[in-house]
């Protein structure tokens, strides 16, 4: 969980500026840190997604996106600022995404987790299925859970 001395608000991005900050954070984490090509991070689905943010003061320190179709929510693009990792922000974003998926009428939530980060999702009740696979040059595994 987030340490008591750290005030983090988890919510939907409120305006285009916060969305821009979330996309910039994704770029920093995925493209700069992990070497993912920018066109693999940004896609046409960003325009239709619900973007959640973790905000400390006026700084976006975490983000993820949620797409809901036909009763299935797809959680993706979870990124946390390097200096804020291991504070429970990722888990808080996953919990908020699960709540948002439920409000949107989804019955299942699915994601492709980088294998080094599966513990964040397993701690939120997700189970892995299938064999690991490469996505953007990084090993991933499919994970899912019921929303409720």
Total number of domains constituting the chain: 1
Comparing 98 with 86, the larger pLDDT belongs to 98
Does residue 46 sit within a domain?
yes
Residue 3 domain-assigned? Answer: no
1 inside domain: no
- Tens of pLDDT, residue by residue over 44-87, are 899 999 999 999 998 999 999 999 999 999 999 999 999 888 88
**Residue 4 is assigned to a structural domain of this protein:** no
Please give the mean pLDDT across all residues of the chain.
91
The arrangement of strands across the sheet holding 72-80 comes to 9-12, 50-56, 59-69, 72-80, 108-114, 138-146, 127-135
Residues 8, 9, 14, 17: what is their CA dihedral angle, to the nearest 10 degrees? 0
Is 80 part of a structural domain of the chain?
Answer: yes
Tell me the torsion sign for CA atoms 97, 48, 55, 62: positive
Mean pLDDT of 90-103: 94
What CATH number did the domain enclosing 118 receive? 3.40.630.30
Q: Distance between CA 102 and CA 106 in Å, rounded?
A: 5
Residue 48, CA distances (Å) to 7, 45, 65, 103, 146 in order: 29, 5, 10, 16, 23
Within a domain: 34: yes
In which band, very low, low, confident or very high, does the pLDDT at 2 lie, cut at 50, 70 and 90? very low
Residues of the domain holding 96: 9-146
The answer to whether residue 70 sits within a structural domain is yes
Whether the predicted pLDDT of 3 surpasses 60: no
- The reported pLDDT for the residue numbered 42 is 86
Percentage, residues of the chain above pLDDT 90: 77
């Amino acid at each position: 969980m987030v340490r008591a001395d750290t005030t983090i608000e988890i919510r939907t991005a409120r305006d285009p500026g916060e969305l821009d900050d979330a996309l910039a954070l994704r770029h920093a984490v995925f493209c700069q840190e992990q070497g993912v090509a920018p066109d693999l991070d940004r896609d046409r689905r960003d325009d239709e997604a619900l973007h959640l943010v973790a905000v400390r003061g006026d700084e976006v320190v975490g983000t993820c996106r949620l797409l809901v179709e036909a009763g299935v929510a797809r959680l993706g693009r979870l990124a946390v600022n390097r200096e804020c990792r291991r504070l429970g922000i990722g888990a808080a974003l996953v919990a908020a995404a699960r709540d948002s998926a439920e409000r949107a009428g989804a019955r299942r939530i699915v994601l492709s987790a980088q294998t080094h980060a599966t513990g964040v999702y397993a701690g939120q009740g997700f189970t892995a299925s299938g064999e690991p696979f490469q996505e953007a040059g990084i090993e991933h595994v499919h994970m899912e859970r019921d929303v409720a």
